[in-house]
Amino acid sequence: MSKDTPKMICPKCRVEMNHHAEKLVDPVNPKEAAQVDPALGGLIEEMHCCPGCGTTESRRTR
């Protein structure tokens, strides 16, 4: 996990969300395929959870 990665902000509460998990996902389009980590064979998707309302959001790392 990179320390300079900006925190995700909850769309409802506008608070910083907690990064609680990562999973390996397959690329779904050519743009994502170009970003695949050859060592992993996929893309890392970060899962973030809001401490306020419990909403979960995910995003792809690059």
Report CA Rg, the chain. Answer: 13
Beta carbon nearer to Zn ion, 43 or 46: 46
Beta carbon nearer to Zn ion, 43 or 50: 50
Stretch that binds Zn ion, among 8-16, 19-27, 31-39, 41-49 (CB under 5 A): 8-16
For 47, the token pair is 């899962």
Q: Which amino acid is at 19?
A: H
Q: Does 13 bind Zn ion (CB under 5 A)?
A: yes
Residues of the chain by 3-state class (helix, strand, coil), percent to 5: 5, 40, 55
**Residues at the site binding Zn ion, with contacts judged by CB under 5 A:** 10, 12-13, 50, 52-53, 55
